[in-house]
A = this chain, B = another copy of it.
Amino acid sequence: MELVQIYECLCDRTRLRIVHLLTGGPLCVCHLQEILDEPQVKVSKHLRYLKEHGMVERERQGAWMIYRLPGKPPRELRANLACLQDCAREDATFARDAKRAARLRPALAKSGPFCAC
């Protein structure tokens, strides 16, 4: 993985928020959509971008599509994700995103057929 590709993935606000959220664990699209408060197509397209650039993996779970960070991230990615987590701690938007995610993750664990959105 090229270092510059990591920065290409992070240089958009929405993508940056998504990656930061996935830092806290996997999420489905509709949860991301609700947390970010952005239109579905926007979230979906950024997820596609991230997937095509090796930044995220996805896995179908019934009607949901679960996105997660790579299981075995290369060293540069791990370093940058740690840095991102560190920096995000002082940012209001990132903090709010994380709080919302914490409220929604239990629903994912239950893994019912339909989303709670």
A residues with a Cβ closer than 8 A to B are 3-4, 7-8, 10-13, 16, 75-76, 79-80, 82-84, 86-88, 90-91
Instruction: Count identical subunits in the complex.
Output: 2
- The closest CB in chain B to the CB of A16 belongs to B4
For the complex, what is the distance from the CA of A87 to the CA of B16, rounded to whole Å?
A: 19
Which chain B residue shows the least CB distance to A94?
B3
- Closest-CB distance, A116 to chain B (whole angstroms): 30
Contact between A91 and B4 (Cβ–Cβ < 8 Å)? no
Max chain B Cβ within 10 angstroms of own Cβ: one of A10, A12, A91: A10
Chain B residues with Cβ below 8 Å from A8 are 11
Name the residue on B nearest A10 (C-beta).
B7
| Contact yes or no, B3 A91, CB < 8 A | yes
CB distance B79 to A83 under 8 Å?
A: yes
Taking a contact as CB atoms closer than 8 A, the residue among B7, B86, B90, B91 that contacts A7 in the complex is: B7
| CA gap between A111 and B23 in the complex, in Å | 47
